[in-house]
Amino acid sequence: MADIFSPKHCEQFQDDGFLLIRQLFSREEINGVMHYAKSDPMIQNEAYSKNDGAGGQSKLSVNNELASTPYSAIVQSQRVAGTMARLLNDEVYHYHHKMMLKEPRVGGAWEWHQDYGYWYNNGCLFPDMASCLIALDQATKQNGCLQVIRGSHRMGRVDHGKSGDQTSADQVRVDAALNRMELVYCELDPGDAIFFHGNLLHRSDQNRSEMARWSLICCYNTRHNDPYISNGRHPNYQPLQILPDDRVREKLIELDN
Number of domains in the chain: 1
DSSP assignment letter at 154: G
CA 139 vs. chain centroid, Å, equals 13
Instruction: Judge whether 32 lies within some domain.
Output: yes
Residue 234 lies in a domain: no
Residue 241 placed within a domain: no
HEC readout, 84-108: HHHHHCCCEEEEEEEEEEECCCCEC
Predicted TM-score (pTM) of this structure? 0.94
pLDDT of residue 67: 94
Q: At a CB cut-off of 8 Å and minimum separation 6, what does 95 contact?
A: 119, 129, 219, 220, 221, 234, 235
Which domain CATH number covers 221? 2.60.120.620
**pLDDT on residue 96:** 97
Is residue 246 included in any domain, yes or no?
no
Domain annotation covers residue 236:
no
- C-alpha closest to that of 185 among 15, 11, 3, 20: 20
24: containing domain:
10-225
Ordered DSSP codes for 237-253: --PPPPBPHHHHHHHHH
pLDDT in tens, the chain (257 residues): 445 678 899 999 999 999 999 999 999 999 999 999 999 998 888 888 777 766 677 789 999 999 999 999 999 999 999 999 999 999 999 999 999 998 898 768 888 999 999 899 999 999 999 999 999 999 999 999 999 999 999 999 999 987 667 778 999 999 999 999 999 999 999 999 999 999 999 999 999 899 999 999 999 999 999 999 987 789 999 999 999 999 999 999 999 77
**pLDDT value of position 53:** 67
- Is 88 within a domain? yes
